[in-house]
Amino acid sequence: MAADLARAHALLSLVRRDAPDRRRFRRLDMGLSGRLLDRTGEEHDCRTLDISPGDARIASTARGRVGDRMIVYLKDVGRVEAEIVRLLESATFAVQFAATAHKRERIAEQLTLLINPALDEDEDRRVRRYSGAGVAPVELEDGTTVPCEILDFSLVGIAVKCARRPLIGAWVKVGNQYGRVSRYLDQGFAIDFEVRARI
């Protein structure tokens, strides 16, 4: 099972890597309300005019410049880091999400369910997550291996319970699959799978 998941993820990653960087995702006309924190830490109301798993067009009273980074909280999507890539008409700008592959998969799933809530019951149309069972050795960047309890896993990542927690963004290896630590859990951490030649 683990080998099949790793193989499938590697193929998906290669397809994504070959896709053009500009406008990699199709945007949906969808107005999601939310709040954003600008580069100064000031909070503003915002609303998406259209959105995809990788970017969005946002209307807000927030002032910004191309290259400014911000934190956006959108209803039904959650928190995502973003960077302004284009200034559009008054009080509107385009942002690109600085999201991991796992987070983009989750955004895609949420957008799909918002468009068609009936899919919520159709597990085959969603990113399948499996409950964990057993222990997996996780190799850290310094070459040490630590035993971790698998909490859950999918094609895009794995969550483990572990006594040690590497830094966010650190490379790790689970079996033959490489990934980066994406976030901390109460007693462990989550890993987003990525393609890498070696640790």
**In sequence order, what DSSP letters do the residues of 84-122 get, joined into one string?**
EEEE-STTEEEEEE---HHHHHHHHHHHHHHH-GGGGG-
Class of domain 33-118 (CATH, top level): mainly beta
pLDDT of residue 67: 93
Per-position pLDDT tens, the chain of length 199:
444 444 444 444 444 443 333 445 677 888 999 899 888 888 999 999 999 888 999 999 888 899 999 989 888 788 889 999 999 887 899 999 988 777 888 888 788 777 766 545 444 444 455 566 678 899 998 999 999 998 887 767 788 999 899 998 899 998 888 888 988 988 899 888 776 644 4
Q: State the pLDDT at residue 155.
A: 66
Structure-block tokens of residue 173: 């290896």
DSSP label at residue 155 = S
Contact 150, 133 (CB under 8 A): yes
User: How many Cβ atoms are within 10 Å of 113's Cβ, its own excluded?
Assistant: 16
108 to 44, 116, 130: CA distances (angstroms): 25, 12, 19
Identity at 186, one-letter amino acid code: D
Domain ranges of the chain: 33-118, 129-193
pLDDT at 124: 46
pLDDT on residue 132: 60
